[in-house]
Amino acid sequence: MTGKIESIVVVGSVALDSVKTPEGETHEALGGSAVYFSLAARHFTRVRVVGVVGEDFPAQHRETLASRGIDLSGLQTVPGRTFRWVGKFGRNLNAAKTLSTQLNVFETFRPKLTEAQKDCQAVFLANIDPDLQADVLRQMRRPRLVACDTMDFWITSKRQALKDLLKRVDIFFVNEGEALKLTRQANNVRAARKLAEWGPSVVVVKKGEHGALLLAGGRIFPFPAFPLDQVKDPTGAGDTFAGAFLGSFLAAETDLNNIHALKHSVVCGTVMASFNVSDFSTRVLENVDLAAVRQRVREFADLLSCGNGAAAPPAKT
């Protein structure tokens, strides 16, 4: 992949989330993988959403997305109720306990791309059924960049379909537990290398508060999380990370062999996720501006830098 790509299609869920953490709770707040991704990616590139909601989806949520430049022409409204998720986080904010999943109209969702979306050169397949992800790719004409995510449920129920899909994927995002389960490996490094053998040129293993691993060009690059004094709600952090990663990468007019650009994209994804988890739902993502993002990127890059004098330990005297 070379040259700038002007927009990206994201196919995923648009939901109403009810979440409780040690810091508070929300009820039927704006959520869903496509939403978190879009609100993060919009700072860097044009985003086109493909998803479905019910007739009960609040008009103010649609306005929130549209007013921030997100293309909702692919967001279907059908009879029925919108997808709802109810979850709880304890002191371990890396793992959510699902209390209720009501798929509603999302249960029969079959993505149908518009002609403009079929011509889009980049696509992010959020954590939906791998058969549906594959169908989206069949509808697209000539995508130059294909990225996807998955979840534990699909690894358990459709492992082979997911493996087949990865043959067509350029960048694969997966959390730590899912990477180990999918590859049946003992650690993150071995899991990332196995996933790369199955197709993706780039693998990103998300580790929550412990950061992320990037595999690119056959090398492993570890990154910490951005240090925060308080985390209120981790919901959507992974999709936020992916949105900022891909958005910043597409804006760089580069290709998958540019390790520097990929590393910078991890920094952008990490920073945007740090904004997201500092409050509930999409509150911060809706309002954070690019200047604040860039400032925190600079702060994080400075934290990661060892300086020229750190190439080797000092000699013993």
Model pLDDT, residue 54: 98
Per-residue pLDDT of the chain (317 residues; tens, 9 = 90+): 556 788 999 999 999 999 999 999 999 999 999 999 999 999 999 999 999 999 999 999 999 999 999 999 999 999 999 999 999 999 888 878 999 999 999 999 999 999 999 999 999 999 999 999 999 999 999 999 999 999 988 999 999 999 999 999 999 999 999 999 999 999 999 999 999 999 999 999 999 989 999 999 999 999 999 999 999 999 999 999 999 999 999 998 668 999 999 999 999 999 999 999 999 999 999 999 999 999 999 999 999 987 665 555 665 65
Give the C-alpha separation, 301 to 188, whole Å. Answer: 23
| Residues with Cβ within 8 Å of residue 168, at least 6 apart in sequence | 134, 137, 146, 199
**All domains of the chain in start order, with CATH:** 7-305 (3.40.1190.20)
202 neighbors 171 (Cβ within 8 angstroms): yes
Q: What is the pTM of this model?
A: 0.94
Helices (H), the chain: 33-41, 59-66, 115-118, 130-139, 152-157, 159-166, 176-183, 188-197, 237-250, 259-276, 283-287, 290-304
Give the C-alpha separation, 285 to 161, whole Å. Answer: 33
| Residues with Cβ within 8 Å of residue 260, at least 6 apart in sequence | none
175 neighbors 208 (Cβ within 8 angstroms): yes
β-pair partners for 47: 8
204 neighbors 245 (Cβ within 8 angstroms): yes
Tokens of 119: 């011509």
